[in-house]
Chain A
Amino acid sequence: MSNIAKALTGVWIAGVIAVAFLWLPPAQGFRSPEAARIVVFHVPCAILTFVAFLLNAAYSWGYLRTREPLTDAKANIAAELGMLFAVLATVTGSLFALEQWGSAWNWDPRETSIVMLMLVYAAYFVLRGAVEERTKRARLSAAYALLAFPAMVFLIWILPRIVESLHPSNTLFSRSGLDPMYRLTLWSFFAGLLAVFVWMFRLRLRVEIAETRLRQQMSREPETTLTGAKR
């Protein structure tokens, strides 16, 4: 990402935040119409969580096909970012739930499924910590990610059928669901957040590549890199 794109992202998100508070009207029909603005920030985080989860599964599949170490690194990064956005979505959702439904946690199906998603990520990281050898770790964690994927799809798909949800369904794309001004602000924020996601992803990948290069240099010429590290 060029510096111009980064600066644009910064201004864009700041602008959307300002718009969400100053231009967006309070949402009628909620218990506290002013607080409903948080939806604009909460929903994009939740969407990005699932995007990251899909990315993780896709990269895991890619790793098993190609056995390319960088693809494994990408799968791991997608899981890390997914965890981050899952936490953000849960915190913003909890705040709004406290305001709207009177309790921060209701075991709503969506709440349950995001907790389960976090559990999958946590298990994934535990597995990665439990295997020493690099290629083996990559192989096993990719296999686990692909096993957890259908389970999560099932969970997201069946849970709302069993338990009633407090969350509205089908508001994002249907014409009648969400106020057009809200929808516009929400997707604008999503665009900004997606840019941040891409930026973070590439930063993290560069760290991974730099680490690999450092390790290679260390194994090649131990003395020079040691003095280099001291500098």
Chain B
Amino acid sequence: MNPLFVYMLTPLLIWAGIFGYLFWLDMRLRSLEKRLDEGGHS
């Protein structure tokens, strides 16, 4: 296999990790905001 291809995998994996984490954080935050909205109205 092309060694460059192997080296390419590391940054791609790191980026996938960062992206997944940010996405997960976004979802968590959205649910928190929703709960806050409900708590504010009741």
Report if A and B touch in the complex (beta carbons < 8 A). yes
Residues of A within 8 A of B (CB): 6, 9-10, 13-14, 17-18, 20-22, 34, 41, 196, 199-200, 203, 206-207, 210, 213-214, 217, 224-225, 228
Interface residue from A10, A21, A22, A217 paired with B40 (Cβ < 8 Å): A217
Q: How far is the CA of A41 from the CA of B12 in the complex (A)?
A: 12
On chain A, the residues within 8 Å of B36 by CB distance are 210, 213-214, 217
The one of A17, A196, A224 in contact with B8, judged by C-beta atoms closer than 8 angstroms, is: A17
Give bound CA distance, A120 to B33, whole Å: 33
Interface residues of B in 21-40 (CB under 8 A from A): 22-23, 25-26, 29, 32-33, 35-36, 39-40
CB <8 Å contact, B29 and A210: yes
Interface of A is mostly: helix
User: From A206, which residue of chain B is reached at the shortest CB distance?
Assistant: B29
Q: Which of A14, A34, A207 contacts B15 (CB 8 A)?
A: A14
- Which interface residue of A21, A22, A199, A217 has the most chain B CB atoms within 10 A? A21
- For this complex, 20 residue pairs linking A to B, each with C-beta atoms less than 8 Å apart, are A6-B23, A13-B15, A13-B19, A14-B12, A14-B16, A17-B11, A17-B15, A21-B5, A21-B7, A22-B8, A34-B4, A199-B22, A199-B26, A203-B29, A206-B29, A207-B29, A213-B40, A217-B36, A217-B40, A224-B39
